[in-house]
Amino acid sequence: MRRPVILVIDDESLIGEAIAAALEDGYQVVAFEAAEPALAALGRMAPDLVLLDIGLPGMGGLEALARIRRHDANLPVVMITADRDISTVVAAVKQGAWDYITKPLKMDALTRAIDNALATVRLRRDVQALQARYLEEHIPCFIGESDTIQAVMAFVGRVAQSPDTPVLILGETGTGKELIAGAIHYQSPNFKGPFTAVNCAAIPTELIESELFGYEKGAFSGAAQTKPGLIEAAAGGTLFLDEIGDLNAAAQAKLLRFLETGEFYRVGGTQRHTIRTRVVSATNQDLDALMADGRFRRDLYFRLGVIRVTVPALNARSGDILPLARHFIEVFNQKFGKWVRDLGPGAVQALEGHAWTGNVRELRNVIERAVLLAEGEHIEVDMLGLTPPTALETGFAPLPDEGMDLAAALAAMERFYIHEALRRTDGNESRAARLLGLNHHTFRYQRKKLAV
């Protein structure tokens, strides 16, 4: 194994030599007498730890510390201080110094400080690697290349760090709210704890309270045994309450109390239970409308939504459509043992032009079907089975029951836009033609034909 590299920066060369001699068995020590050359060597040497004298001539220790932190915020820096001036040491620690040791150096204190720092850094790195693996295993693939979704995911990553803050995820059906709830859990410090998902809409309303909070033996007929609820199952992890808008009044009141105090009683119980879990909730319903109707408590809404994350509809991030489609092709190739390689040009156009009211879930279903139907290497437009957009989605008038004269409608439309283009360009035919994507010749022909 590579010996850890330790960079010593101290203007007293004897110190550097003494440290090198004391540590030579387990470490590789490189000493500098000033900050500037040491900083220049940082990238090349990739040290595991820096021992830095506070009272350096030239660039002082605090300035050097700031630069080292800018270079690599995870690199531990242990300060060496001669004077007993605690205020400089405090300043250094505030700036991110790991620890400090005082001169005259005691070698056992020095090795203890170094070993502690290196062990902690190693531990942190292990935890980060483990967390990345959990995230990968449990949230197999979150696809999102658009700036919009990238910003949402960056926000989610930051929110995840505070393990107790409730998060409310809003967004249309199929936008990926459940995936995001998982991403919050697996990026949080509670990632090794349970992720307990509860679909409030799937539990009969008269059972929801006892499912969530548990019940005591004899609480109601049929309660033969005491049973802990889902909230208890989520202790030390994340409780994901999906379709939160479907929670009845009694469960809403009890949940509010739990969010405020961390305490609850099982149904039929008298013993107070306290647990810690982060509550993440989600809904595709319009909570404002539910609150206006008195069907959802406003105080609960504010408690659940300390942090609110709104997942944008797929049409608002059209840059994600093709990457998601290609991802789902891979998923269903695997599942069905197919060899579809890509989308045909017509299919690309159809996917990009479709109004995805069912969002990512609809896209996933469309691709699943297409991969199943595909016989060659490409998905063609007819395998997508996309129905053309409705009149409402296009902005066109609906087809009247008695039928219509399509040729006349098209001519009227052409006449309108030719007229508009000429008006915009003060009658300049070649510029008007360009505005309509026509060559000059065609433009003049159409204009004459339609007598504009």
Binding to ligand ATP by residue 144, rule CB under 6 A?
yes
SS3 letters for 275-306? CCCEEEEEECCCHHHHHHCCCCCHHHHHHHCC
Please state the closest distance from residue 157 (CB atom) to ligand ATP, in A: 14
Which one of 166, 176, 229, 312 is in contact with ligand ATP (CB under 6 A)?
176
Binding to Mg ion by residue 99, rule CB under 5 A?
no
Please state the closest distance from residue 158 (CB atom) to Mg ion, in A: 22
Binding to ligand ATP by residue 178, rule CB under 6 A?
yes
Which value, in Å, is the radius of gyration of the alpha carbons in the chain? 33
Q: Burial level of 73, CB count in 10 A (0-12/13-18/19+)? A: exposed
432 binds, among ligand ATP, Mg ion, none (CB under 5 to 8 A by kind): none
Contact code string over 243-282 relative to ligand ATP, x by CB under 6 A:
----------------------------------------
Binding to ligand ATP by residue 177, rule CB under 6 A?
yes
Which one of 134, 142, 265, 417 is in contact with ligand ATP (CB under 6 A)?
142
User: How many CB atoms neighbour CB 358 within 10 A?
Assistant: 16
Question: Token match 């942090």: residue?
Answer: 307
Q: Which of 417, 425, 424, 405 is nearest to 450 (CA)?
A: 417
The CA distances from residue 150 to 154, 157, 404, in Å, are 6, 10, 46
Longest dimension (CA), the chain: 101
Of the listed pieces 64-72, 167-175, 264-272, 401-409, which binds ligand ATP according to CB under 6 A?
167-175
| b (16+ CB within 10 A) / e for 182-214 | bbbbbbbebbebbbbbbebeebeeeebbbbbbb
197 binds, among ligand ATP, Mg ion, none (CB under 5 to 8 A by kind): none
Q: What secondary structure letter does DSSP report for 196?
A: E
Which one of 254, 297, 317, 364 is in contact with ligand ATP (CB under 6 A)?
364
Of the listed pieces 119-127, 128-136, 170-178, 392-400, which binds ligand ATP according to CB under 6 A?
170-178
Instruction: Give me the residue whose beta carbon is nearest to Mg ion.
Output: 178
Of the listed pieces 170-178, 362-370, 399-407, 411-419, which binds Mg ion according to CB under 5 A?
170-178
Please state the closest distance from residue 283 (CB atom) to ligand ATP, in A: 7
Q: Which of 12, 9, 10 is nearest to 38 (CA)?
A: 9
| b (16+ CB within 10 A) / e for 266-290 | bbebeeebebebbbbbbbbbebeeb
User: How many CB atoms neighbour CB 377 within 10 A?
Assistant: 11
Question: What is d(CA 360, CA 145) in angstroms, rounded to the nearest whole number?
Answer: 14
Please state the closest distance from residue 363 (CB atom) to ligand ATP, in A: 8
Please state the closest distance from residue 333 (CB atom) to ligand ATP, in A: 15
Binding to Mg ion by residue 362, rule CB under 5 A?
no
Task: Compare residues 156 and 432 and give the one whose CB is closer to ligand ATP.
Answer: 156
Number of residues that bind ligand ATP (CB under 6 A): 17
Binding to Mg ion by residue 178, rule CB under 5 A?
yes
Provide the binding-site residues for Mg ion, judged by CB under 5 A: 178
Provide the binding-site residues for ligand ATP, judged by CB under 6 A: 141-144, 171, 173-179, 284, 324, 360-361, 364
